[in-house]
Every structure is written in structure tokens, then in C-alpha cells.
């Protein structure tokens, strides 16, 4: 028992005593343990305590086994079910020493009275999920002398046979589902049966569950809470999201609910959410922090209308590294594809300038911002010989400036090529055109565009005027900086680049 050297508020102690019926000494231990792990979000002392109280266990034993309060509630629930399935009496002491019990041999557990003498552990486990007698015989044959086996060995033998029968997979797949995800070694058979039934009810085939064995680590209560509290995400059925990104089922439901609120707060479209469903596997605070930071970076925030925007949110550190590198070599034409694609494709673009999605972000932005069909935007932009060479940041700044100056979306739409010019030149030309006599208001921007094009002899090269302020570096002419080192390509002895 930990030595209590700190006093806690009397009110807090009395509340614990009244709520859970514990002594003052036990209440002190609980508050001490809560203070020790307060900064760790993975643990919730009060939730664990409430679970023990719900099971009507002797909470006074917490003073002898305070480590049990650090056990996550869902993990503790699995451990309770496992002990019950093996025929072991559930108590604070047995739960606290769960790992030690699993490493013990069956004859030792019987000798110490943890398991009743002559109790058939294999039969008890098989009956908990109604395994066929033939499967039970297979387990007994594979283990040989059961009494000389550890409880974990016996459990895993039954667990693998259950997975083979339930998911119709071979022995190697069943074994891989446990070895690749060691947490699956401590999953209750009954809770596993429940979660498999729930996953299949959401449309996840057995083959997909085998390919994503981390799903076995999902608690059924957690998935049920997700379906109840988050039935839709941006008007999309949560079941469709689960089929697209199964890992969402593994995340705490309240984390998903927070991300839903963040997505709605920032006003992202349904298609954007669907295309970037991986973002729901991040912590909600991380998603908000990344979106706030991206909103402060003009080059990135201008791409927010792209349906693949969340790919940059998901691979945020990679996006920042690439953006920093592109700024260093003065390459302004960026795209969501370029900043979030695989490393070989990014390297190829930096070397050759090849980006097959070039212009897609620009067309998407104008289509969304001006409420114009994307096909119409593409049709107009293709008449300009250099439109693909204009950065999206330039187009977005000019468009926002024109709309902010009082011009309507229809006026901007009818002079779409004006958005390819730098903001300062476009506004100056618009003001000069507005001051001209006898020019109808709806033709002001068209006149401004005419004057700008006339300066470049209608060659379209006027859009490159921004280059005078910042000399460009020719693509493929030798970059002044090294390509950013990305995760998975770090030299063995160097520090690992921070992940996503």
C-alpha cells in the first residue's frame, strides 16, 4: 500500500465515502492514485472505481491493490470476463494480479485454490462461446498435458480455434491476429463474440476483420455507444464510414463525436469528410489544433474546398515539411495531391515538374467560391495559355479581394481570367475601369481584364508579373535545399522524424 504523505480536501474525501461506502483511508488512496495519473488521458480512476462498485466488489481492498485503479475500464471488463470464463472467482485481488494469474500453470492455480480442484478450464472456455465438441477435442490434442500449461497457453489455444471457426480463416491467419496485435491475447471470448456480431451487422465481412485484427480490441459497449451517439457524420451514415475506415470502430466514441463537431464548425462538405475519413483515427484535440494552424497558412487554407483536404490534415507533419521545402526553392504551384502524395511522386514532381492534378485545386476553389459548375470553370480557364502556372494562393487572394471590394460572384465569373492576376494589379485595374465614363457596372471587371491583357499584347504573360517581386527557381535546375526526409526513410542512427 502506498504511504500517504499528502492530505486532501475533506469535501472530496467525504464525497467518495458517501458515494462508494469506503473508509477514509481508502478514499485517501483513491485520491492519491488519481493525482498520480491525472495528466494521462488513457486512465480514468473514477470510471474504474465505478466499474468495481458496479460489480459489488470489496473496494476496501483497493488500499492493498491500488494498481488496479490504473487499469482502463474496458480492459478491466475484458479481464473480469476472462476470469469468469476460466472459472476463477472475480475479486479486486484476482483482477489486480490478472497478468500473474495468466502466467501461472494450471496445477499451481489449483494448488493455491484459484481454480477449483478438477475444474475443466478448456471445457469452461469452449462452453462460454458454444464451440463444437470437435473443436474442444482439437484443443485438448494440441495442448497435451493441460496441467503443465499456463492459463494463457490454454486460453490462446481456445481463442485461436474460435477465430478459425467464427471467421472461417486458416491457422496462420488466426495466429497472426494475435501475434501482430498482442493486446488480443487478453480478450474475452464472450466479448469477442459480441464485437464480431456487431461488426458484421455494420457490413464488415469476415475477410476484412481478419485483415484488420485490431478490431478485436474494440469493446462492444464502445461500438454500441458510437452507433447511438454518432449515427451520422456530415450527413453520412456512420456505418459507411466504418466500412471505409474500420479503425474508427476502435476509437473512443466521444472522440469521434468531438471530431464531428469540429468538422461541422469548420463547414467542410460531406465529400471532404468521406474522402478523408482517416482523420477520425486521430485525437479530436489534434484535429482542431491542425485545422487552426492550417487556417493560418494561406497556401494550405486556400485548398480547403478540395475534397481530399483531410489527407493533408491526416499527414500534417509531412505536409508542413513539403510546404517548407517548396517555399525554399520558390515553387509556388502547390496542390493537395503534391503535398500529401507518396514520396516518390513528390520527388518526381520536384525533379521534373510533373503533377497530373495541376489546376484541379484551382478549378475546385473557383467552382465552390463562385457557385459555378466545375465543368464551366474548366472550360473558361482552358482558354488561358498559362492558367496552370498560376498558384492557387494568387487566385484565392485575388478572388477574395474582388468579392470584398463589392463585386458580385457573377461579375467575377464573367471575367474569370482576372483572378489569375496578382491581387494588387487586379484591384488597380478594377478601380481604373470603374472610374471610366459610361461603363455599365456589369462590364467593369471585363474592362479591367481587357486592359491587363492588352499590356501583355494578349499573350497571357501578364499573369507572371508576380515573379518580379520574387525570382523563381526553374524546376529541375538544382534545388538549393535537400528534399525533406520523411517517416520510413530516416537513416538508422538518426532521430526518427515525428509521425503524423
pLDDT at residue 343, as a whole number: 86
The residues pairing with 232 across neighbouring beta strands, listed in sequence order, are 237
Could you tell me the CA-to-CA distances from 400 to 31, 66, 200, 370, 447 in Å, in that order? 55, 60, 48, 10, 19
Backbone angles phi, psi at 234, to 5 degrees: 50, 50
Give the CA-trace dihedral at 386, 387, 393, 399, to 10 degrees. 130
How far is residue 18's CA from residue 61's CA, in Å, rounded to a whole number?
17
Q: Could you tell me the pTM of the whole model?
A: 0.75
Name the residue ranges covered by the structural domains of the chain: 1-70, 71-224, 230-352, 376-468
- Strand ranges for 369-434 from DSSP E: none
CB 447 within 8 A of CB 425: no
pLDDT along the chain (500 residues), means of 10: 53 74 81 66 74 91 87 93 95 94 94 91 94 91 91 96 95 94 94 96 94 93 93 85 89 90 88 87 94 94 90 93 88 85 83 68 90 91 86 91 92 91 89 78 86 79 56 41 57 33
Is residue 240 packed enough to be buried (19+ CB in 10 Å), middle (13-18) or exposed (0-12)?
middle
CB 15 within 8 A of CB 41: no
pLDDT at residue 475, as a whole number: 38
Q: Which residues neighbour 181 within 8 Å (Cβ) at sequence distance 6 or greater?
A: 213, 214, 216, 217
CB 354 within 8 A of CB 385: no
How far is residue 171's CA from residue 367's CA, in Å, rounded to a whole number?
53
Amino acid at each position: 500500500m502506498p504511504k500517504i504523505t499528502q492530505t486532501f480536501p475533506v469535501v472530496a474525501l467525504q464525497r467518495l465515502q458517501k458515494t462508494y461506502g469506503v473508509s477514509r483511508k481508502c478514499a485517501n488512496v483513491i485520491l492519491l492514485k488519481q493525482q498520480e495519473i491525472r495528466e494521462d488521458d488513457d486512465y480514468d480512476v473514477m470510471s474504474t472505481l465505478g466499474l468495481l462498485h458496479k460489480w459489488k466488489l470489496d473496494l476496501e481492498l483497493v488500499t492493498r491493490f491500488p494498481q488496479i485503479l490504473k487499469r482502463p475500464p474496458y480492459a478491466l471488463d475484458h479481464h473480469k470476463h476472462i476470469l469468469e470464463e476460466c472459472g476463477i472467482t472475480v475479486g479486486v485481488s484476482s483482477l489486480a494480479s490478472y497478468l500473474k494469474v495468466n502466467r501461472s500453470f494450471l496445477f499451481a492455480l489449483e494448488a493455491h485454490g484459484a481454480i477449483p480442484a478438477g475444474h475443466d478450464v478448456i471445457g469452461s472456455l469452449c462452453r462460454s462461446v458454444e464451440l463444437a465438441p470437435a473443436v474442444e477435442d482439437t484443443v485438448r490434442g494440441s495442448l497435451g498435458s493441460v496441467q503443465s500449461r499456463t492459463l494463457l497457453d490454454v486460453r490462446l489455444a481456445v481463442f485461436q480455434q474460435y477465430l478459425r471457426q467464427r471467421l472461417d480463416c486458416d491457422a496462420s491467419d488466426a495466429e497472426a491476429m494475435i501475434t501482430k496485435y498482442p493486446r488480443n491475447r487478453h480478450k474475452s471470448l464472450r466479448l469477442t463474440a459480441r464485437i464480431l456480431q456487431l461488426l458484421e451487422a455494420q457490413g464488415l465481412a469476415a475477410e476484412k476483420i481478419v485483415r484488420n485484427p485490431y478490431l478485436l480490441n474494440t469493446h462492444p459497449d464502445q461500438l454500441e455507444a458510437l452507433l447511438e451517439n454518432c449515427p451520422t457524420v456530415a450527413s453520412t451514415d456512420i456505418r459507411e464510414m466504418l466500412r471505409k475506415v474500420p479503425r474508427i470502430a476502435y476509437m473512443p466514441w466521444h472522440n469521434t463525436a468531438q471530431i464531428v463537431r469540429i468538422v461541422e464548425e469548420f463547414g467542410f462538405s460531406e465529400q471532404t469528410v468521406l474522402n478523408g475519413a482517416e482523420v477520425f483515427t486521430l485525437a479530436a484535440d489534434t484535429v482542431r489544433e491542425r485545422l487552426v494552424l492550417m487556417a493560418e497558412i494561406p497556401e494550405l487554407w486556400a485548398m480547403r474546398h478540395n475534397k481530399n483536404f483531410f489527407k493533408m490534415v491526416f499527414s500534417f507533419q509531412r505536409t508542413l515539411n513539403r510546404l517548407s521545402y517548396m517555399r525554399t526553392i520558390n515553387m509556388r504551384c502547390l496542390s493537395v495531391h503534391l503535398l500529401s502524395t507518396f514520396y516518390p511522386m513528390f520527388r518526381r514532381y520536384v525533379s521534373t515538374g510533373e503533377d497530373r492534378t495541376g489546376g484541379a485545386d484551382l478549378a475546385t476553389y473557383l467552382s465552390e467560391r463562385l457557385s459555378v459548375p466545375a465543368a464551366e470553370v474548366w472550360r473558361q480557364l482552358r482558354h488561358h495559355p498559362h492558367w496552370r502556372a498560376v498558384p492557387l494562393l494568387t487566385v484565392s487572394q485575388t478572388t477574395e479581394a474582388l468579392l470584398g471590394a463589392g463585386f458580385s460572384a457573377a461579375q467575377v465569373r464573367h471575367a474569370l481570367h482576372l483572378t489569375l492576376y496578382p491581387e494588387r494589379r487586379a484591384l488597380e485595374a478594377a478601380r481604373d475601369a470603374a472610374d471610366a465614363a459610361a461603363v455599365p457596372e456589369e462590364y467593369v471587371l471585363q474592362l479591367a481584364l481587357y486592359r491587363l491583357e492588352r499590356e501583355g499584347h494578349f499573350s497571357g504573360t501578364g499573369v507572371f508579373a508576380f515573379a518580379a517581386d520574387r525570382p523563381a527557381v526553374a524546376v529541375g535546375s538544382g534545388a538549393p535545399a535537400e528534399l525533406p526526409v520523411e517517416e520510413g526513410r530516416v537513416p538508422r542512427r538518426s532521430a526518427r522524424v515525428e509521425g503524423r
